[in-house]
Amino acid sequence: MRGTDSQGTSSMRSNEAKQDLLTIDDVTDELPGLIDWAIRIKHDDEALYDFKPLDGLAIGSIYEKPSTRTRVSFEVGVTRLGGQALTLLSGDIQLGKSESIADTASVLSRYLDGITYRCFGHADVEELAKHATVPVINALSDLHHPCQAAADLMTIVEHAERVNGHIAWVGDGNNVLHDLVIGAVSMGHDIKYATPSGFEPDERIISQARSIAEGTGATITGTNDPDEAVSGAGVIYTDVFVSMGEEHAGEKFGAFEGFQVNESLVSNADPDYLFMHCLPAHRGEEVTNAVIDSPNSVVFDQAENRMWAQMSILTYLCNEAAWHAYRELR
């Protein structure tokens, strides 16, 4: 086990500033490279056998909300990279009971080389990152889901030959949309989102995305009309109408009438459109079985790609030298 430096840091980045991933904007410059790396290792059986950049490193993952994809993909991804994965469920640790986020961050930084955190308020993951001396990865907050966006954009790259048109979002202006907009425009994709009135995405995040889009020439269009968003789309993305932790869920549902992604809505999209959903899906609510089970659907590719994209991100944040070495040598 490596010793700690004067900051109590045990990460391989101990002699340099650690980098966190709290929103996808933290890595937009590196995003094409992170995705390229992820696609390469996904198909590199030899590397999966002998490339262990997290050997001797421990990654802890705190969950304050349920998870299937994030939890399993982080645990398996860390193990494949030679590291030790610890899952810390909120009911089992002192955080939120007798210990502050700041103290938890300081303590965990003495044991771990990276921390992933699924929380309610986005300020909580910012607080953890502020006090941790090892990289912190946001594993979903109320405002952001950067690992999802990385996997989604990786999936779009993999299916690029089929994508003839903009990315359309239909549904709630939520955490998944926020990072999708930022990541998509950073890679030059046009995006049109349709949300019910009153459920638009956070205006500060859209402003941030517009600044990024100015540099790439991508366009961002917001509307309350799903047909307008979907017409001519190369990708159609939706998510649940009510996210984890939201209150007044019952009141919210009525606003989403007409926002279900069904065969009628998708009929004006490009015939080869990709249907995307971060999952879990509430079939019969935001999407019909006919759409999510159609040949256009790539939802399980997205789920798988969570693991490969996160393996790239973890290696980049926790052992950057190994990330570059793999990129250059393979």
Residues in touch with ligand CP (CB under 6 A): 67-70, 140, 148, 278-280
Residue 174 interacts with ligand NVA (CB under 6 A)? yes
The whole-angstrom separation of Cα 168 and Cα 228 is 9
Angle at 301 between CA 288 and CA 82, to 5 degrees: 140
Question: Per the residue annotation, which of 148, 260, 302, 310 is the catalytic one?
Answer: 148
Q: Which stretch binds ligand NVA (CB under 6 A): 23-31, 33-41, 151-159, 239-247?
A: 239-247
Q: Which stretch binds ligand NVA (CB under 6 A): 16-24, 43-51, 85-93, 170-178?
A: 170-178
> DSSP assignment, residue 247?
S
Structure tokens at 84: 């030790």
The torsion angles phi and psi of 216, rounded to 5 degrees, stand at -110, -10
Give the shortest CB-234-to-ligand CP separation in angstroms: 22
Structure tokens at 207: 């402003």
Residue 243 interacts with ligand NVA (CB under 6 A)? yes
Question: Per the residue annotation, which of 118, 122, 166, 178 is the catalytic one?
Answer: 118
Q: Rank residues 176 and 274 by Cβ distance to ligand NVA and give the closer one.
A: 176
Give the shortest CB-9-to-ligand CP separation in angstroms: 28
The whole-angstrom separation of Cα 17 and Cα 198 is 40
- The residue from 73, 104, 116, 175 that contacts ligand NVA (CB under 6 A) is 175
Q: Rank residues 151 and 278 by Cβ distance to ligand NVA and give the closer one.
A: 278
The whole-angstrom separation of Cα 256 and Cα 237 is 15
Which partner, ligand CP, ligand NVA, none, binds residue 68 by CB below 5 to 8 Å per kind?
Answer: ligand CP
Active site (annotated) includes residue 147: no
The whole-angstrom separation of Cα 236 and Cα 35 is 20
Active site (annotated) includes residue 239: yes
- The residue from 152, 239, 270, 286 that contacts ligand NVA (CB under 6 A) is 239
Helix crossing, 146-158 with 175-186: angle to 10°? 50
The whole-angstrom separation of Cα 174 and Cα 233 is 20
Active site (annotated) includes residue 283: no
* SS3 of residue 40 by DSSP: helix
Give the shortest CB-181-to-ligand NVA separation in angstroms: 14
Question: Per the residue annotation, which of 239, 260, 277, 318 is the catalytic one?
Answer: 239
Q: Are 5 and 14 in contact (CB under 8 A)?
A: yes
- Percent of the chain that is helix, strand, coil (3-state, to 5): 45, 15, 40
Q: How many residues does the chain have?
A: 330
Give residues 136-155 in contact with ligand NVA (rule: CB under 6 A): 140
- Whole-number Cα distances in Å, 316 to 30, 100, 214, 323: 10, 28, 27, 5
Identity of the amino acid at 87: T
Active site (annotated) includes residue 172: no
Active site (annotated) includes residue 306: yes
> DSSP assignment, residue 29?
T
Residue with smallest beta-carbon separation from ligand NVA: 243
Which partner, ligand CP, ligand NVA, none, binds residue 239 by CB below 5 to 8 Å per kind?
Answer: ligand NVA
Give the residues across from 241 on adjacent strands. none
Mask of contacts with ligand NVA, 246-285, x by CB under 6 A?
--------------------------------x-------
- The residue from 157, 244, 255, 325 that contacts ligand NVA (CB under 6 A) is 244
Residue 176 interacts with ligand NVA (CB under 6 A)? yes
Active site members: 118, 145, 148, 239, 278, 306
Residues that bind ligand NVA (CB under 6 A): 140, 174-176, 239-240, 243-244, 278
